[in-house]
């Protein structure tokens, strides 16, 4: 009987230890998204920010919580899954800058722990890639209307990337 009690205790201890092991995660990146992930990691590295990706899945697929992209997270360092809607509007016909801002927004949720930020800058532009309204804060000019010299917003990219990694980034000159 005593033998069985000891065996029971050993089993309980070993099962407890198992529960404390980190969750099993997967690293799997769709080929079409790898390029954008590498740019993101490069921007993080330039800022001295170490990003762990061993628990990251990035794939094209159907989204349910946001129109063009979605981040699903399992607590305590569990799986992070970025899903990107590759329809014409969100992806296939979107300029590079908008695709990048979309992927960076979802990586902001999944890898930087960021939530939506919907304030506006003094000139009315969104304050962050983490806005919940659209993926075009630094879009090139798609539909040029006469006299609109703010149509091409690509020069704004550096501010938005800075803000993504540091919310305390000061208001840029173009937004005053
Ligand atoms: Zn979002």
Tell me: the pLDDT tens digits for 128-155? Answer: 999 999 999 999 997 767 666 778 999 9
Between the CA of 111 and the centroid of ligand 1 the distance, in Å, is 12
- The fold of the 22-169 domain, in CATH, is Collagenase (Catalytic Domain) (3.40.390)
pLDDT bucket at 170, cuts 50 / 70 / 90: very high
The reported pLDDT for the residue numbered 14 is 56
Is the pLDDT reported for residue 36 higher than 80?
A: yes
Average pLDDT, the chain: 90
Beta strands per DSSP E along the chain: 28-29, 56-60, 69-73, 80-84
**CA nearest to 36, candidates 89, 93, 81, 102:** 102
Tell me: the pLDDT tens digits for 61-79? Answer: 999 888 999 999 999 889 9
> pTM here?
0.85
Between the CA of 17 and the centroid of ligand 1 the distance, in Å, is 36
Between the CA of 129 and the centroid of ligand 1 the distance, in Å, is 9
């Amino acid at each position: 009987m005593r033998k069985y009690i000891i065996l029971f205790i050993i089993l309980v201890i070993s099962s407890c230890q198992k529960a404390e092991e980190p969750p099993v995660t997967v690293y799997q990146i769709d080929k079409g998204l790898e390029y954008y992930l590498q740019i993101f990691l490069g921007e993080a590295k330039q800022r001295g920010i170490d990003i762990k990706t061993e628990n990251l899945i990035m794939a094209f697929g159907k989204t349910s919580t946001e129109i063009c992209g979605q981040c699903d997270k399992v607590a305590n360092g569990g799986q992070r899954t970025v899903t990107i809607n590759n329809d014409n509007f969100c992806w296939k016909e979107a300029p590079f800058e908008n695709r990048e801002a979309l992927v960076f927004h979802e990586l902001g949720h999944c890898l930087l722990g960021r939530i939506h930020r919907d304030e506006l800058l003094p000139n009315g532009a969104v304050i962050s890639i983490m806005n919940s309204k659209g993926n075009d804060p630094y879009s090139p000019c798609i539909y040029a209307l006469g006299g609109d010299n703010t149509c091409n917003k690509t020069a704004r990219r550096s501010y938005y990337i800075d803000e993504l990694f540091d919310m305390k980034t000061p208001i840029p000159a173009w937004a005053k």
